[in-house]
Amino acid sequence: MICYNRRMEKKTSLEDIVSLCKRRGFIYQGSEVYGGLAGTWDYGPLGVELKRRIMQAWWKFFVESRDDMYGVDAAIIMNPKTWVASGHVATFADPLVEDLVTKKRYRADHLLKDAGENADGLKPEDLNKLIKEKNIKSPDGNALSEVRMFNMMFSTNVGPIASDESVAYLRPETAQGIFTNYRNVVDSLYPSLPFGIAQQGKAFRNEISPRDFVFRSREFEQMEIEYFVHPEKWQEPFEALLADIYEFLELMGLPKDKVHELEVTDADRAHYSKRTIDIEFDYPIGREELMGLAYRTDFDLKNIQRESGKNMEYVVKGTSEKFVPHVIEPSFGVERLVMAVLCSSYREDEVNGDKRVVLGLPENLAPYRFAVAPLLKNKPELVAKAREVYEVLREKYSNVAWDDNGNIGKRYRRQDEIGTPHCIVVDFTTLKDGTVTVRDRDTTEQTRVQLSEL
């Protein structure tokens, strides 16, 4: 049977995504039972599966399918000299203002952006001037303090006694764990240039005002590569990695017309970068950065060499040529990619006059590839046969759901909403001829298929 579908003209909002994530077990507010903690989020059963599949797909695409990539998993807490050498102790700061009445704190550039003003790259004195000129108030309508810079690294103490000597930091990025292991990888595996070192893992930033769901949070995951190249041969691998990024985002199901390339100007680039391209995405909150590709030159390795006294030079095999390699960095935020995938997949349409919510996830990312259901759960013979089908499919595909809750229509709607591409229903005809109904999520088409063909 083919059902009639009509796409409803409704723009997806952030509230639509947040509601779906809570309702269907993708993402919950962190510590919600205690009233929550701003900027923290917990991934539920389906969110864990989606996030894991995205990360596995990234690792397979950028690491496992190539012979010039190597993986590491560095410690979250590193020697504090790491962050002195990288410049984070001195420069990793955001502009903070305080509501003079409520004492709530906000990022000055965000308040200006919300008021339609571009504050990118402005110094504190320039931000103060613009806030006064435009009469910018806090969200509660109160006057604001002068801008001051706030370092976003979370500090902690290592060891039993808290002192100046015991201060350490939760890493604000995964990149430095790669750079500090560059020498180890070279000495262990002798890779030929160009080569990359990849890492996935947690990072922490004490955001002044986390907002927009998981887009900007205090605890998040990154997927980063540092690709080491000859100082005079960076352009070609830069362009090749850029092309790979677009191919990967297409595999994630992101519409091409919602993905945009921004060449970052000299004034807005990070201090270590000679060229940066931001890949932006049209989220419900507006066009925002999804990930970045930066040519970091030899900034990081030179700093490590200076601070540690260890030689970071690469010796070209069979020659006397040696130099400190330059680096190209593709950097992905996992949560921002998860959010982009959810926003791209979400839609509302009608089936025979009934509204439904559909999460049209690519099949390789869907938490469940199949959902198996008996037509009636109070018929033991149907349940037994459906269980048999379920177990057979689970042997081949681990991500198979069992669903016997509610009538068959409600089950279809539930599976549509969590992104399951195919529902397999065992009915009385199955007992007679060994066929099952396979129902397609996107078209709602239902076809009879032999069990042996599943």
Question: How confident is the model at residue 404, as a pLDDT?
Answer: 92
CATH at 395: 3.40.50.800
Residues 256 and 233 placed together within one structural domain of the fold: yes
Average pLDDT, the chain: 92
Query: Do 188 and 301 sit in the same domain of this protein?
Result: yes
Least confident span in 246-250, 270-274, 395-399? 270-274
Region 322-342: what's the mean pLDDT? 97
Of 132-141, 156-165, 211-220, 276-285, the least confident: 156-165
Does residue 437 sit within a domain?
A: yes
* pLDDT at position 152: 86
Instruction: State pTM to two decimals.
Output: 0.89
CATH of the domain at 191: 3.30.930.10
Does residue 6 or residue 255 have the better pLDDT?
A: 255
Say what percent of the chain tops pLDDT 90. Answer: 77
Residue 26's closest CA among 47, 41, 51? 47
Residue 429, helix vs strand vs coil = helix
105 vs 425, residue with greater confidence? 425
Packing angle, helices 334-345 and 45-59, rounded to 10: 110
Residue 4's pLDDT band (boundaries 50, 70, 90)? very low
Q: Residue 115 belongs to a domain with what CATH number?
A: 3.30.40.230
> What's the mean pLDDT in 399-405?
93
**pLDDT at residue 260 in the model:** 97
405 found inside a domain: yes
Question: Is the same domain home to 301 and 260?
Answer: yes
Q: Are residues 39 and 101 in the same domain?
A: no
Confidence of residue 66 (pLDDT cuts 50, 70, 90): very high
Same-domain check for residues 212 and 321: yes
How far is it, in rounded angstroms, from Cα 379 to Cα 174? Answer: 54
Residue 160 CB contacts under 8 Å (≥ 6 apart), including other chains: none
Same structural domain, 73 and 202: yes
Inside any domain, residue 353: no
Domain boundary among 117, 151, 185: 151
* Residue 436 falls inside a structural domain: yes
Q: What pLDDT is stored for residue 9 in this prediction?
A: 53
Q: How many residues does the chain have?
A: 454
Q: Which residue has the higher pLDDT, 166 or 325?
A: 325
What pLDDT, on the 0 to 100 scale, is given for residue 89? 84
In a domain, 349, yes or no: no
For the cut 60, the answer to whether the pLDDT of residue 1 exceeds it is no
Structural domain range at position 403: 368-453
Q: At residue 154, does pLDDT exceed 80? A: yes
382 with 425, same domain: the answer is yes
One domain, residues 40 and 184: yes
Q: 324-351 as b/e, with b when 16 or more CB fall inside 10 Å?
A: bbbbbbbbbbbbbbbbbbbbbbbbebeb
The tens digit of pLDDT for each residue in 209-233 reads 888 999 999 999 999 999 999 999 9
Assign 56 to helix, strand or coil. helix
Beta bridge partners of 297: 327
Domain identity same for 65 and 100 = no
294 in any annotated domain: yes
105 alpha carbon, distance to own chain's centre: 26
Residue with tokens 């990118």: 120
Query: Exposure of 125 by Cβ count < 10 A (0-12 exposed, 13-18 middle, 19+ buried)?
Result: exposed
- Give the least confident one: 120-134, 174-188, 322-336, 360-374: 120-134
> What is each CA distance from 237 to 226, 241, 251, 291, 357, in whole angstroms?
12, 6, 21, 18, 42
For residues 232-251, give the mean pLDDT. 97
b/e burial code for range 398-416 (CB count within 10 A of at least 16 → b): eebbbbbeeebeebbbbbb
pLDDT at 208: 85
| Residue 86 is assigned to a structural domain of this protein | no
- Model confidence pLDDT, tens digit, residues 25-61: 999 999 999 999 999 999 999 999 999 999 999 999 9
Domain membership of residue 84 (yes or no) is no
Asked if 414 and 381 sit in the same domain, the reply is: yes
Q: How many domains does the chain have?
A: 3
112 and 222 part of one domain: no
pLDDT the model gives residue 270? 77
Is the pLDDT at 101 greater than 60, yes or no? Answer: yes
Is the domain of 202 the same as that of 260?
yes
Q: How confident is the model over 198-202, as a mean pLDDT?
A: 98
pLDDT in tens, 348-385: 988 777 889 999 999 999 999 999 999 998 999 999 99
Q: Which tokens belong to 234? A: 């960076």
